[in-house]
Amino acid sequence: MKGFTFIIVMFFSANFLTAQEQSTQDPDSLLTLATKEYRAGRPEKALAYTQKGLAIAPQYHDIRMVETRAYMALSDMENAKKDMTFLITHAPQYPEMKELLYQFINHYNNPVQQLKAVESYQSTYPEDLHLQALKAYLLLENKQKKAAQELSRKLLKEKGLSGQDQYQLQVTYKRSITNEVGIGYQYIGFSSDYINTEPWQTVTLEYQRNINRTAIIGRTMLSGRDERDGQFYEVEAYPVFSKRFYTLVSAGVSSGTLFPDFRGSLSGFYNFAPKWEGEAGMRYASANGDGYFTGIAGLSLYEGNIYINAKTFLGPKRAGRFIQNYQLNLRYYLNDADSYGFIIISSGISPDERTIYTQLLENPTLKATMFGGGIRKTLGIHHLIQASFNLMTERITTTSGQQYISNVAYRYRF
């Protein structure tokens, strides 16, 4: 009886060992084991299974894709490149192949290697707009501004761009321009409901210099209305810290009576998800010895050719109430990043309205709404024009008055 039991135990043990041995020789089982180890954060153990699996079935692309990811997890880009080249050569249209390629390119530590990787594989996917958008960005990172500008400008005319690629190309195109000079003219007319109906006119001169990732703008505004006049001098910068995060910083001083004595801005912009960008920041203005802080929160969506921005300005607290501004900005892009039609709907006066914001500081109980729109258009490579018209309705004591705000501007890029 004991002998019979021993035989049974040995029989099942042998079958178990045989099955286990077969499982480590079966490519499908090896793929399952390799995937399990990779997802558990053990790429070295995953490689032991992928190498055995590829020795049995070198054309088993799923195993090779796991092996590529394992090599990348170990920062072994030389072996990852060998696997990637094999896959691109033998299975360029294999499921998830493009996603793996994007991961492979982004895994390199510097833009020089990333650009070389894109250029190595772009001939396999000549119609891939995401790969071309990535190349435009990397050309700029490698200080090839002219090539980046030409490629991004060309791609922005394509219809199949994703919202994320459209956003990135717009940033790339703007950063590829080195110098800009501009002049603008604003005319504000007043309805007969106002005691003083003399128009308010402002001329703005700007120079912009793009240094690597940072745009720096010098601005002078010359304004006059009736017997009052004012000059405003401002420096504004947009430091870019990464593909997802950039800031706005500005400071300006004035003379005369039509602008705040000092104005400062600070905002951070973060592309926190595909198509979405958030803003948080503050504005500061001082006038007649008093200082005023305003908090800002904004949210933007890029959806194909459409841009939607909602923004609110809260503060300061004056005359027992918080000054508030809520606005909705809409754009429809035409054929490049700087050609679009736009609409603005606003309740209250924004501190970014450098001329008319003084009215709110002088009269914090002022209530206003604004509706308007315009167009911005590039003409060739160097020229940019813009025209807009806004109607602002203000509550004046017991009645309402209208301000007719017209703007025209021209910029030259070189």
The CATH number that applies at residue 382 is: 2.40.160.40
Q: Are residues 132 and 44 in the same domain?
A: no
Q: Are residues 263 and 374 in the same domain?
A: yes
Q: Are residues 31 and 135 in the same domain?
A: no
Q: Are residues 124 and 227 in the same domain?
A: no
Per-residue pLDDT, averaged over 142-171, amounts to: 86
User: Is 15 within the bounds of a domain?
Assistant: no
209-261, pLDDT tens digit by residue?
988 779 999 999 999 988 889 999 999 999 999 889 999 999 999 998 889 99
Q: Are residues 371 and 264 in the same domain?
A: yes
Q: Are residues 120 and 95 in the same domain?
A: no
79-103, pLDDT tens digit by residue?
999 999 999 999 999 999 999 999 9
User: Is 155 within the bounds of a domain?
Assistant: yes
Q: Write down the pTM of the prediction.
A: 0.69
Q: What pLDDT is attached to residue 3?
A: 54
> Which comes out higher in pLDDT, residue 112 or 160?
112
Task: Sort strands 399-413 and 179-190 into parallel, antiparallel or unpaired.
Answer: antiparallel
Q: Are residues 141 and 252 in the same domain?
A: no
Number of structural domains, the chain? 3
Q: What pLDDT is attached to residue 159?
A: 83
Q: Which domain covers residue 126, as residue numbers?
A: 115-169
Q: Are residues 344 and 222 in the same domain?
A: yes
Percent of the chain with pLDDT strictly greater than 70 = 94
Q: Are residues 216 and 256 in the same domain?
A: yes
Q: Are residues 126 and 243 in the same domain?
A: no
- CATH number reported for the structural domain that contains residue 77 in this entry: 1.25.40.10
- Cα–Cα distance for residue pair 358/198, rounded to 1 Å: 17
3-state helix, strand, coil in the chain (%, to 5): 35, 40, 25
Cβ neighbours of residue 267 under 8 Å, at least 6 residues apart? Answer: 247, 248, 279, 280, 281, 282, 296
Final residue of a structural domain among 86, 107, 128: 107
Final residue of a structural domain among 107, 131, 149: 107
User: Is 149 within the bounds of a domain?
Assistant: yes
Q: Record the tokens describing residue 255, joined without a space.
A: 């003379």
User: Is 140 within the bounds of a domain?
Assistant: yes
Q: Are residues 68 and 148 in the same domain?
A: no
Q: What pLDDT is attached to residue 358?
A: 81
Final residue of a structural domain among 87, 107, 127: 107
HEC letters along 293-358: EEEEEEEEEEECCEEEEEEEEEEEEECCEEEEEEEEEEEEECCCCCCEEEEEEEECCCCCCCCCHH
Q: How many other CB atoms sit within 10 Å of the CB of residue 319? A: 8
User: Is 125 within the bounds of a domain?
Assistant: yes
21-58, pLDDT tens digit by residue?
444 578 899 999 999 999 999 999 999 999 999 999 99
User: Is 393 within the bounds of a domain?
Assistant: yes
